[in-house]
Amino acid sequence: MTECIFCKIVQGQIPCQKIYEDDELLAFHDIHPAAPVHFMIIPKKHVDSLSQCQAEDQALLGKMLLQAPRLAQQTGLQQGFRTVINTGRGGGQEVFHLHVHILGGGVLPPLQTNK
Ligand code: AMP
Ligand code: ZN
């Protein structure tokens, strides 16, 4: 039994607001949106984070990124969007199943500086 919350979503044990699915990927809205539109694209196979990806994951990573503009278009983000991949504790990652955040709606504020 996996304890990974995103694996449970993939397996249908936890509901999600799905926006896209194919044999390798799932995209769903973030439960705590940080922007007017906030969803994420995840691989169905469990990978802890970007740091754990291997050469064999190259096509999967490309597929995830190529879905981003397509799904952004579908969810009304014609003016653009932000992609974020938090990696490891230092990167602020909280769910250790690889995911790409897509955020948008209006004009997003700049990234915080260290000032
Ligand atoms: P990260 O900090 O990059 O690991 O992001 C994890 C994200 O997963 C956070 O933005 C959470 O709001 C989101 N999240 C956690 N549980 C769920 C869930 N059950 N459904 C949708 N999003 C979730
Ligand atoms: Zn998982």
Instruction: Give average pLDDT by consecutive 10-residue segment, the chain, 115 residues.
Output: 92 98 98 98 98 98 98 98 98 98 96 86
- State which ligand 1 atom lies nearest to the alpha carbon of 95: 4
CA distances from 57 to 41, 50, 60, 99 (A): 15, 10, 5, 13
Q: Give domain status of residue 79, yes or no.
A: yes
Q: Range of 49's domain? A: 5-102
Residue 76: both structure tokens together: 């009304």
Q: Is 65 in the pocket of ligand 1 (CB under 6 A)?
A: no
Q: Residue 1: its pLDDT value, please?
A: 59
Q: Give domain status of residue 76, yes or no.
A: yes
Q: Is 64 in the pocket of ligand 1 (CB under 6 A)?
A: no
Q: Give domain status of residue 107, yes or no.
A: no
Ligand closest in space to the Cα of 28? 1
Torsional sign, CA 63, 30, 92, 107: positive
> From atom 12 of ligand 1, which residue's Cα is the shortest distance away?
32
97 belongs to the catalytic site: no
Q: Give domain status of residue 113, yes or no.
A: no
Q: Give long-range contacts, CB 8 A cutoff, 24+ apart: 52-58.
A: 52/98, 53/98
Q: Give domain status of residue 88, yes or no.
A: yes
Q: Give domain status of residue 108, yes or no.
A: no
The CATH code of the domain that includes 27 is 3.30.428.10
Domain count, the chain: 1
Q: Give domain status of residue 97, yes or no.
A: yes
